[in-house]
Amino acid sequence: MKKKRNLFIGSGTVILTIIAVVFVLSRINNSPFVTDDESPKIYHLENAAKEDEIQRVVTVTLYSDGTAEIPQPAISSFSLTSYNYSVVDNELLLYTDNKKEYMAVFTVEDKNTLVFKSKTLPIFADIGARYIHE
């Protein structure tokens, strides 16, 4: 009877330890990409020329509430500028209310550098363009 009790206590301790580790790791991975203190966090197109302001997306703005803005340049007739975002596996994913399809994907080099990777909507940004937060 004593062996069963010790086995039960030992198993319970192992299970509680595993639950605690999973909880701590999930809290670390779900930390916000932009904190309230940083919000809004504005990334600027690296080495943007004057003509880029008319032809390219020159800023990406992220808010702590999970929304983002990508103002379209003057040459664009596309008007949607407000998105939601999430960060998964070092990628910043931009989408509207429907999370099924992402409109734009940026690689997160670090907390201050985004690299434009792909798009499914007419967003005027070049693949590989770097956006820097200073």
**6 contact partners, CB below 8 Å, separation of at least 6:** none
Task: Domain count for the chain, please give it.
Answer: 2
**Mean pLDDT to the nearest integer, 55-72:** 89
As a residue count, the chain comes to 134
Please, what is the end-to-end C-alpha distance for the chain in angstroms? 65
pLDDT of residue 24: 41
**pLDDT band at residue 112, thresholds of 50, 70 and 90?**
very high
Please check whether residue 36 lies inside any domain of the structure. no
CATH code of the domain covering residue 102: 2.40.128
Q: In this predicted structure, what is the pLDDT of residue 22?
A: 43
**pTM (2 d.p.):** 0.71
Tell me the residue type at 46.
E
Domain range for 3: 1-31
